[in-house]
Amino acid sequence: MAGLTLLEVVCGLAVVALMAAVLLPAMSRQTSRPRLEAYALEAAALLKADRNAAIRHGRAVETRIDAPARTIRSGTSGQVVRLPEDVRLETVLPRNCVDRPAFDTISFFGSGMSCGGIVALAHGEAGYEIRVNWLTGRIEVASNAGLTRP
């Protein structure tokens, strides 16, 4: 059995380098666990800002969650949290809030109270819930591995 020639070794290395050049950018576009947590904290900060604005101005503020567009939009500043395609976005929101439809919003009132809701973000083994208490309007972020699916 003859050894490999220099040309064969160089060609083999070129193929490996080409594969790495194609695969590495695709892998780096995946949302990491720390980045998923950052999205959850960013969404929570947006919700807290809307709640604080409602209290400060003494009027209702609605944060809109658009699952098909993968966005969470502030009702006061217009700031938007945009989620990448590989992050699963699920919500548990009230059908009605103060006798009006509220399918895609979390409402905060001048008292600080809210109609509440849950915004869940998940990717791979990681999951986070942004929970808005329906009575107090308090916002918390919780890690939730139970959001993952096989």
Q: What is the CATH number of the domain that holds 134?
A: 3.55.40.10
- What residues make up the domain containing 130? 33-147
17-72 pLDDT per residue, tens: 776 666 655 555 789 999 999 999 999 999 999 999 999 999 999 999 999 999 99
Quick one: pLDDT at residue 74? 97
Whether 103 is in a domain gets the answer: yes
Whether 76 is in a domain gets the answer: yes
Taking the C-alpha atoms of residue 72 and residue 46, their distance in angstroms, rounded to an integer, is 8
Whether 58 is in a domain gets the answer: yes
User: Residue 111 carries which DSSP code?
Assistant: T
DSSP 55-93: HHHTS-EEEEEETTTTEEE-SSS--EEE--TTSEEEEE-
User: In the structure, what pLDDT confidence band is assigned to residue 149 with cuts at 50, 70 and 90?
Assistant: very low
Quick one: pLDDT at residue 145? 57
Whether 109 is in a domain gets the answer: yes
Domain count, the chain: 1
For the chain, what is the mean pLDDT? Answer: 87
User: In the structure, what pLDDT confidence band is assigned to residue 5 with cuts at 50, 70 and 90?
Assistant: confident
Residues in CB range of 40: below 8 A, 6 or more apart = 121, 128, 129, 130, 141
Whether 12 is in a domain gets the answer: no
Whether 54 is in a domain gets the answer: yes
Whether 2 is in a domain gets the answer: no
89-140 pLDDT per residue, tens: 999 999 888 888 888 999 999 999 999 999 999 998 899 999 999 989 999 9
Higher per-residue pLDDT: 109 or 149: 109
